[in-house]
Amino acid sequence: MKILVATHPFGDTGRQPLDLLESTGWELVRNPYGRRLKTGEVGKHLQGVDGVIAGTEPYTAETLAQADQLKVIARVGIGLDSVDLAHCRDRGIRVTYTPEAPSDGVAELTLANIINLIRAVHESDHSVREGAWNRLMGRLVREVTIGVIGVGRIGSRVISLLQPFQPTILATDTNPAVFGRPLPNVRWCGVDELLQRSDVITVHIPLNARNRHFINRDRMARMRTGVLLINTARGPVVDEAALTDALIQRHLGGAALDVFESEPYEGPLARMDNVVLTAHIGASARASRFLMELGAAEDCVRVLRGEAPMHDAIADELD
C-alpha cells in the first residue's frame, strides 16, 4: 500500500497520527512543497497511491482521473466542497472526514470575532499604531442581537459559548432536521427576520450548490444598517463583491472573514479598516488540528484494511 500525505503541515501538533501511518509498514509519501497543493499539482502525485490524507486541495474529476488505484481520500477537516463526491462514489473511492474535531476551534474563533467587532478592538489597535488615541465606544455582548445562520455542529457550539454573555440570539437553518431544535435562550425564525433584526450575523452553513452566495447582494440589502457580518464557514457562501460594496457604502458596519472565495486572499477587503481578515485559521488550534489529523489517519487505515470508517462523507452528504 502507498499513502500520500497531501495536507501540510502534518504531525506538527503531535506524532501519533504520523506514527499510526508509519506503523502499518506501508509506503508513506509526503507533500514535497511544504504548502497547500495547487490545482494542477494534485493529480501527478496520485499515481500508484492507495490512500490520501487530504487537506483543502482540489480533488476534481479531472484530477482524480490520474489516480489509477486510489481507494480512499481521508479529509483532515470538515469541508467537503474540494472533493467531487459524486465522482468518488461512481469510482468506488471512499471519502472520509473529521466533522467533530475542528468544531470547537471554529466556534471559539467566531466568538473572538464577535467580541472584536463589537468592541472595535482591531480599529483601536490600528489607531494606536498610527499615533492616535481614539477611545472608541463599543457595545457589550448582552446589548446586541446575534443571528446564527446554520445551527449544526459549529453553530450550536457558538450558541453555547454565547450563553454566559446573555445576548438576544436568533437562529435559522435550512435543514428541517435542525430547525426548531430546543436550545436555551434562542428564538428560531426565518432567514428574512434574522437578517432584518440582527446586529451581528454569523454564518455556519456548508458550501454546496444551494448555499453558494447565500449571503448575496439582495440578502445584504435586507440587513439593518451597521450590521456586522462574520464568516468562518466557507468563502463562497458570501458574495465578496457584494460585501465589498456594502462595506464601502457603510450599509454594513464591519466584517470578520476567515475564509474566502479564493485563497490566499488578495483583494480590496484587505485595505479596509473595518474588516478583520484571518488566514483560514478556524481549525488552527493545536488540539483541533491534532484530532483532525488523528481521525483522518485512523479512517485511512481502516478503509485500506477493509474496515468501515468512522465518518463516511459520501454517505453523510449524498444519501
Q: Which residues are catalytic?
A: 234, 263, 280
d(CA 68, CA 138): 57
Question: Hey, is 87 helix, strand or coil?
Answer: helix
d(CA 201, CA 318): 28
d(CA 298, CA 296): 5
Counting Cβ atoms within 10 Å, is residue 62 exposed (0-12), middle (13-18) or buried (19+)?
middle
Which residues, in sequence order, are CB contacts of 131 under 8 Å at separation 6+?
A: none
d(CA 64, CA 66): 5
Question: Hey, is 109 helix, strand or coil?
Answer: helix
Beta strand extents in 55-204 (DSSP E only): 72-75, 94-96, 145-149, 168-172, 186-188, 200-203
How many whole angstroms from its chain centre is CA 298?
22
Instruction: Give the pairing type, strands 252-257 and 227-231.
Output: parallel
Grid cell at residue 164: 454566559
